Amino acid sequence: MISFNLLVLVSLLYVAFLFIVAFVAERRAALGKTGWLRSSAIYTLSLSIYCTAWTFYGAVGYAARSGLEFLTIYLGPTLVMIGWWWLVRKLVRIGRAQRLTSIADLISSRFGKSTGLGVMVTVLAIIGITPYIALQLQSVTQSIAVFAAGSGEVWAQRDLDGAAMWVAIGLAVFTVVFGTRNLDAHERHDGIVLAIAVEAVVKLFALIAVGIFVVWGVAGGVGATMDLIDASAQSQWAPSPSRWIGLIFVSGAAFLCLPRMFQVLVVENSDERALGTASWAFPTYLMLMSLFVVPIAVVGLDLMPEGSNPDLFVVTLPLSEGREGLAILAFLGGFSSATSMVIVATLALATMVSNHIVAPSWLTSRTTGAAVSGDVRGVVVASRRIAIGVIMTLGYIYFRLSGGGTALAAIGLVSFTGIMQVLPAMIGGVFWRGANRWGAGAGIAIGFAVWAWTQFLPSFGIDGVISQAVFDNGPFGINWLRPHALFGIEGIDPLVHVAFWSMLLNSGAVVLVSVLTFPNPLERLQGAQFVNVYDYSSDARAWSQSAAQAEDLLVMTQRILGSAEAQTVFRAEAQMQGKSGFLPDVTPDFIGKLEREMSGSIGAAAAHAMIGQLTEGATVSVDDLMAVADETAQIVEYSNQLEAKSAEQERTARALREANDKLTALSIQKDAFLSQISHELRTPMTSIRSFSDILRDGEVDGDARRRFAGIIHDETNRLTRLLDDLLDLGVLESGQVQLNIGEGTLADVIDRAVLASGIDETKVSISRRANAEAVTLSTDMDRLSQVFINLISNVAKYCDADEPELRIIVRPMDGQLAVDFCDNGTGVPQESQSVIFEKFSRLEDEGKAGGAGLGLAICRQIMTAIGGGIAYLPGQGGAAFRVTIPTD
């Protein structure tokens, strides 16, 4: 049998080795060589502190008692990790953005940096975790006792207590040395993380080694082991569905809420990608840890004497088979599991105590304000060290009180369901902006009460704290408050009972109270930051303009971060603002940044309170929030305005283009007009000149001379007419026409026009209706008849029907008088309808009608001048013009 002293020596060497590992890691980190220290592999291994001595020893005991049910404890975290995209990734992102230091900090920070909530979570964690720490001490001492017994010494309870005390002291020293060495702006402990990574390897290696030995060395292969498993009466597995599902849920929830898990999962995380690796590597680790548990349990039950403790099979089996080296390895594995858990759990709890209980109360006890000189870090570090000592002492006291008799698994589950009460507040806070601190507080309080009443207090045993009478009849005879039958529903498994009722009432309270109460502005700000952590590129401001001086802030920051770090922060900010020196302008953004830096050291609530002292409470108000929202709105507004402006410019440009096109077209028209008019003038001039030349030469007889003179006369008339028309058009177009307003009936005007047009009424039949034309008009009669003459003579000129016919239809229309002139010719082709009112537009070959194409243009100008209009009327079975005349 190996000597007990050898075991002690091996343990001490192992501990010394861990010290060296942690020391080297700290040194490397201090030199900035953090490369592989923060690798995904180290990160994944550090997560293995989930597997404590409760796993290493307890899982085998659990399997020996309840078969495969022990697997639920590892299936829950497996689901959480492979589902990291849901929650863990978000937690890590939030943890980085908000510089979270613990799970209490998460809850406190999310709900308006509330000190009260931080205290609540801290207290809950201490009550929940202390038994768990005691459990680790117990498992270490029990395994030492096994070896002591093997070497011939029988340990009394006193010796166990002594060993436990020394283990506790050793762990406390380790935690103090590597956990509180520096007050970092980022709560990362490279030394501790590396040490627990090494321990993770040791425990996995040890358990697998024992497992391989048991399966192939003792049982005789896989097949034989399987037969043994199925034959073993005690591992009969009759699963209860509610317990199976309930335990998977509880373990998954605890995995997220345990302070030590939050520490390694979120706080110590330095790279989000490591999470991806852990998402498959950690489940694999858990699977390997669980792989040999059932074989060890079954073989242990088979070989070990009746009544031996199954929790210790991992050590006692190799010992009984004479494999002392393996037994020592197994012992070291168990030792690693216990110590790594205790170190991280104690550190996490101490951080919570110092940040959420000591720092705030210290701050309020000082009335001098935060700007006095002197290093606060001393206080924080000292409080953390003391807290480590106190927590370890509490664990030790619990160990002494509980007497070390309870099965390991039971204690672990009590712890799990206790700490799980943070879950609804956490989930609510991360996914629901409406969750507020009243709701979170109510949920945690109710959950805690239910847990304490139905599980924690009963765990001390019947008549331990709660008497048998209360179990049977409820407190004060209130039947529905019986600890294992709340609301009178009996027969539920106690663990499912506590998990179900506490979660139901807890989350119910979170939702109900949050809905009914109103959060303060800081909470709403933080809520938005947490829930939409992927959307926010930087922190929204939590401070408004304040009276704080940069120098005061520097003094205060130095006290938290140390002078070097604080000066670096201040100088960086000053540089960013474009100033030299160490004192930047105190902007809300800067104060927010400082607060974040400080909260990395002392927690969000304390940092907020310290800044609050300097800024004289000029914290964010609803108005400030509105202002921030307004700024955003203004930006949006501005960009909208820009858009509108550019649209307007587009419109202007289009209008300018159109105007330009019109001008170009007008210029072309003008050129065309000039050439047209020259042509029109030139044709008669040419014939006049030629005939006058002939006459001047006098070589023609009288008859021809008369004819020639007639031609000259006609051409001159034509020229005169053309010039008259041109003059007329010029006057009308310039708008300088003098109207000669007179009175008369429409019938008179038409009569006159028919006569003046010289139309031959035997060739063209004109149909009129006398009574419609009996309308008295007050307008320029001469001009109006000029229009009518033009239209009527056009019929004579252009109507190509065999029996030309003109209908003159008069009807009142829209307060005006419409006079339609319709013939029965072919009319005006559609493509020409738009141009017939333009100057010099003629439809057929010129000369036939003898006009210059000005008639309709003049008509239009006249009608415009007297306030009416003229338009071509399509679809009347011929050419049709409508003249509208204003009536009074």
Q: Which residues inside 36-75 make contact with another protein, applying CB under 8 A?
A: 67-68, 71, 75
| Whole-number Å distance between alpha carbons of 30 and 210 | 38
Closest by Cα among 837, 829, 787, 839 to 808: 787
Please report how close the Cβ of residue 371 comes to another protein at its closest, in angstroms.
22
List alpha helices for 698-779, DSSP H.
Answer: 702-734, 746-756, 770-773
Of the chain, the end-to-end C-alpha distance in Å amounts to 134
Residue 834 in the binding site for another protein (CB under 8 A): no
| Whole-number Å distance between alpha carbons of 140 and 131 | 14
- What pairing do the DSSP bridges indicate for beta strands 741-745 and 776-780? antiparallel
* Residue 607 near residue 360, CB atoms below 8 Å: no
76: enclosing H helix or E strand: helix 72-82
Residue with smaller CB distance to another protein, 514 or 861:
514
Residue with smaller CB distance to another protein, 17 or 536:
536
Q: Which of residues 491-530 bind another protein (CB under 8 A)?
A: 524, 527-528
Q: Which of residues 285-314 bind another protein (CB under 8 A)?
A: 286-287, 290-291, 294
Please report how close the Cβ of residue 389 comes to another protein at its closest, in angstroms.
27
| Whole-number Å distance between alpha carbons of 222 and 208 | 14
* Residue 748 near residue 713, CB atoms below 8 Å: no
Angle at 543 between CA 542 and CA 549, to 5 degrees: 145
| Binding test (CB under 8 A) with another protein, winner from 30, 462, 659, 801 | 30
Instruction: Classify each residue of 393-426 as buried b or exposed e, where b means 16 or more C-beta atoms within 10 Å of its C-beta.
Output: ebbbebbbebebebebbbbbbbbbbbbbbbbbbb
| Whole-number Å distance between alpha carbons of 440 and 113 | 13
Residue 597 in the binding site for another protein (CB under 8 A): yes
How many amino acids of this chain bind another protein (CB under 8 A)?
A: 81
- Please tell me what DSSP assigns to residue 543: B
Residue 185 in the binding site for another protein (CB under 8 A): yes
Residue with smaller CB distance to another protein, 436 or 455:
436
| Binding test (CB under 8 A) with another protein, winner from 83, 325, 403, 710 | 83
- Among the residue ranges 333-341, 536-544, 676-684, 780-788, the one whose residues contact another protein (CB under 8 A): 536-544
Dihedral (Cα; 529, 530, 533, 538), 10-degree rounding = 30
Please report how close the Cβ of residue 588 comes to another protein at its closest, in angstroms.
10
* CA 708 distance to own-chain centroid: 99
| Binding test (CB under 8 A) with another protein, winner from 531, 556, 817, 822 | 531
| Whole-number Å distance between alpha carbons of 64 and 301 | 7
Please report how close the Cβ of residue 541 comes to another protein at its closest, in angstroms.
8
- Among the residue ranges 537-545, 550-558, 698-706, 767-775, the one whose residues contact another protein (CB under 8 A): 537-545
Q: Could you give the C-alpha distances from 450 to 415, 454, 464, 485, 741, in angstroms and in order? A: 14, 6, 18, 12, 105
Please report how close the Cβ of residue 291 comes to another protein at its closest, in angstroms.
7
> What are the residues facing 880 on neighbouring strands?
822
Residue 186 in the binding site for another protein (CB under 8 A): yes
Please report how close the Cβ of residue 235 comes to another protein at its closest, in angstroms.
6
Please report how close the Cβ of residue 673 comes to another protein at its closest, in angstroms.
54
- Among the residue ranges 89-97, 121-129, 358-366, 644-652, the one whose residues contact another protein (CB under 8 A): 89-97
Residue with smaller CB distance to another protein, 270 or 340:
270
- Please tell me what DSSP assigns to residue 743: E
Residue with smaller CB distance to another protein, 631 or 658:
631
Q: Which amino acid is at 305?
A: P
Residue with smaller CB distance to another protein, 272 or 463:
272
* Residue 384 near residue 352, CB atoms below 8 Å: no
The pattern of x and - marking residues 138 through 177 that bind another protein according to CB under 8 A reads ----------------------------------------
| Binding test (CB under 8 A) with another protein, winner from 78, 141, 355, 824 | 78
- Among the residue ranges 48-56, 154-162, 336-344, 428-436, the one whose residues contact another protein (CB under 8 A): 428-436
List alpha helices for 550-587, DSSP H.
Answer: 550-561, 563-576
Contacts of 533-540 with CB under 8 Å at 24 or more apart are 533/90, 533/93, 533/94, 533/97, 534/90, 534/93, 536/97, 539/97, 539/592, 539/593, 539/596, 540/628
| Binding test (CB under 8 A) with another protein, winner from 532, 652, 832, 834 | 532
Residue 487 in the binding site for another protein (CB under 8 A): no
**E-assigned strand segments in 148-215:** none
Residue with smaller CB distance to another protein, 230 or 648:
230
- Among the residue ranges 179-187, 198-206, 351-359, 371-379, the one whose residues contact another protein (CB under 8 A): 179-187
Residue 184 in the binding site for another protein (CB under 8 A): yes
Residue 849 in the binding site for another protein (CB under 8 A): no
Residue with smaller CB distance to another protein, 143 or 235:
235
The pattern of x and - marking residues 553 through 592 that bind another protein according to CB under 8 A reads -----------xx--xx--x---x------------x---
- Among the residue ranges 9-17, 28-36, 362-370, 472-480, the one whose residues contact another protein (CB under 8 A): 28-36
| Whole-number Å distance between alpha carbons of 673 and 216 | 115
Q: Which of residues 626-655 bind another protein (CB under 8 A)?
A: 628, 631-632, 635-636
Got the DSSP string for 259-317? HHHHIIIIIS---HHHHHHHHHHHHHHHHHHHHTHHHHHHHHHHHSPTT--GGGHHHHH
Residue with smaller CB distance to another protein, 34 or 692:
34
Please report how close the Cβ of residue 271 comes to another protein at its closest, in angstroms.
9
Residue with smaller CB distance to another protein, 90 or 484:
90
| Whole-number Å distance between alpha carbons of 160 and 396 | 11
Structure tokens at 390: 């106190």
- Among the residue ranges 7-15, 86-94, 470-478, 505-513, the one whose residues contact another protein (CB under 8 A): 86-94
| Binding test (CB under 8 A) with another protein, winner from 5, 537, 771, 830 | 537
Closest by Cα among 454, 429, 613, 412 to 511: 429
Dihedral of CA 515/517/518/519: which sign?
Answer: negative
* Residue 405 near residue 197, CB atoms below 8 Å: no
Q: Which of residues 224-283 bind another protein (CB under 8 A)?
A: 226, 229-230, 232, 235-239, 241, 244-245, 248, 272-273, 275-277, 279-281, 283
Q: Which of residues 189-228 bind another protein (CB under 8 A)?
A: 226
Please report how close the Cβ of residue 552 comes to another protein at its closest, in angstroms.
20
Looking at the chain, how many residues does it have?
888
- What pairing do the DSSP bridges indicate for beta strands 805-813 and 816-823? antiparallel
Please report how close the Cβ of residue 620 comes to another protein at its closest, in angstroms.
13
| Whole-number Å distance between alpha carbons of 177 and 172 | 8
| Binding test (CB under 8 A) with another protein, winner from 38, 323, 385, 433 | 433
Residue with smaller CB distance to another protein, 476 or 518:
518
At a CB cut-off of 8 Å and minimum separation 6, what does 757 contact? 788, 789, 792, 793, 796
Please report how close the Cβ of residue 657 comes to another protein at its closest, in angstroms.
31
Residue with smaller CB distance to another protein, 465 or 636:
636
Residue with smaller CB distance to another protein, 630 or 724:
630
Please report how close the Cβ of residue 226 comes to another protein at its closest, in angstroms.
5
Residue with smaller CB distance to another protein, 569 or 750:
569
The pattern of x and - marking residues 95 through 134 that bind another protein according to CB under 8 A reads -x--------------------------------------
Q: Is 884 helix (H, G, I), strand (E, B) or coil?
A: strand
